[in-house]
Amino acid sequence: MRMRAAVLEEFGEPLAVQEVELAEPRAGEVLVRLHACGVCHTDLYTASGADPSGYAPAVLGHEGAGVVETVGTDVASLAPGDHVVTLFSPQCRECVHCLDPRTNLCMAIREEQNKGHLPDGTTRISRDGEGVRHFMGCSTFAEYTVMPEIALAKVSPDAPFEHACLFACGLSTGLGAAINTAAVRPGSSCAVFGAGMVGLGAVAGCRLQGAERIICVDLSPQRLELARGQGATDLVEGGEGAVERILELTGGFGADYTFEATGNVAVMREAVEAARMGWGLCTVAGVAGRGETLDVVPRLLITGRRIAGSSFGGVKGRDQVPALVDRYLAGEIDLEPFVSHRLALDEVNRGFELMEAQDGIRSVIEFS
Ligand X SMILES: NC(=O)c1ccc[n+]([C@@H]2O[C@H](COP(=O)([O-])OP(=O)(O)OC[C@H]3O[C@@H](n4cnc5c(N)ncnc54)[C@H](O)[C@@H]3O)[C@@H](O)[C@H]2O)c1
**Residues found near ligand X in the complex (CB under 6 A):** 41, 169-170, 173, 193-199, 217-220, 223, 238-239, 261-264, 267, 285-287, 310-312
Catalytic annotation on 106? yes
Amino acid symbol at 140: T
DSSP codes joined into one string, 168-195: GTHHHHHHHIIIIIS-PPTT-EEEEE--
Shortest spacing between CB 294 and ligand X, in angstroms: 13
Let me know: does 164 contact 195? Beta carbons within 8 Å: no
Question: What letter does residue 337 receive in the DSSP assignment?
Answer: G
| Cβ closest to Zn ion, residue 98 vs residue 261 | 98
Q: Is 92 a binder of Zn ion (CB under 5 A)?
A: yes
| Cβ closest to ligand X, residue 219 vs residue 235 | 219
Let me know: does 65 contact 85? Beta carbons within 8 Å: yes
Question: What letter does residue 276 receive in the DSSP assignment?
Answer: P
Three-state DSSP at 224 gives helix
Let me know: does 119 contact 28? Beta carbons within 8 Å: yes
Question: What letter does residue 142 receive in the DSSP assignment?
Answer: B
Among 20, 22, 42, 226, binds Zn ion (CB under 5 A): 42
Q: Which of ligand X, Zn ion, none does 220 bind, CB closer than 5 to 8 A by kind?
A: ligand X
Q: Which of Zn ion, ligand X, none does 132 bind, CB closer than 5 to 8 A by kind?
A: none
How many residues form the binding site for Zn ion (CB under 5 A)?
Answer: 8
Catalytic annotation on 169? yes
Q: Which residue number is nearest to ligand X in terms of Cβ? A: 196
Shortest spacing between CB 36 and ligand X, in angstroms: 17
Q: Find the DSSP H helices in the chain.
A: 41-48, 110-114, 161-164, 170-176, 197-208, 221-230, 242-249, 265-273, 299-302, 317-329, 348-356
| Cβ closest to ligand X, residue 186 vs residue 221 | 221
Q: Is 165 a binder of Zn ion (CB under 5 A)?
A: no
Return the bridge partners of 308, or none: 283
Candidate ranges 36-44, 216-224, 311-319, 358-366; the one touching Zn ion (CB under 5 A) = 36-44
Q: Which of Zn ion, ligand X, none does 203 bind, CB closer than 5 to 8 A by kind?
A: none
Pick the closest to residue 22 from 151, 165, 143, 153 (CA basis): 143
Q: Which of Zn ion, ligand X, none does 106 bind, CB closer than 5 to 8 A by kind?
A: Zn ion
Q: Cα Rg for the chain, rounded, in angstroms?
A: 20
Q: Is 348 a binder of Zn ion (CB under 5 A)?
A: no
| Cβ closest to ligand X, residue 119 vs residue 194 | 194
Strands 144-148 and 29-38: antiparallel
Strands 189-193 and 257-260: parallel
Amino acid symbol at 261: A
Which of 29, 35, 37, 42 is catalytic? The answer is 42
Which of 29, 35, 37, 62 is catalytic? The answer is 62
Q: Is 106 a binder of Zn ion (CB under 5 A)?
A: yes
Q: Catalogue the active-site residues.
A: 40-42, 62-63, 92, 95, 98, 106, 110, 169, 362
Binding site for Zn ion (CB under 5 A): 40, 42, 92, 95, 98, 106, 108, 169
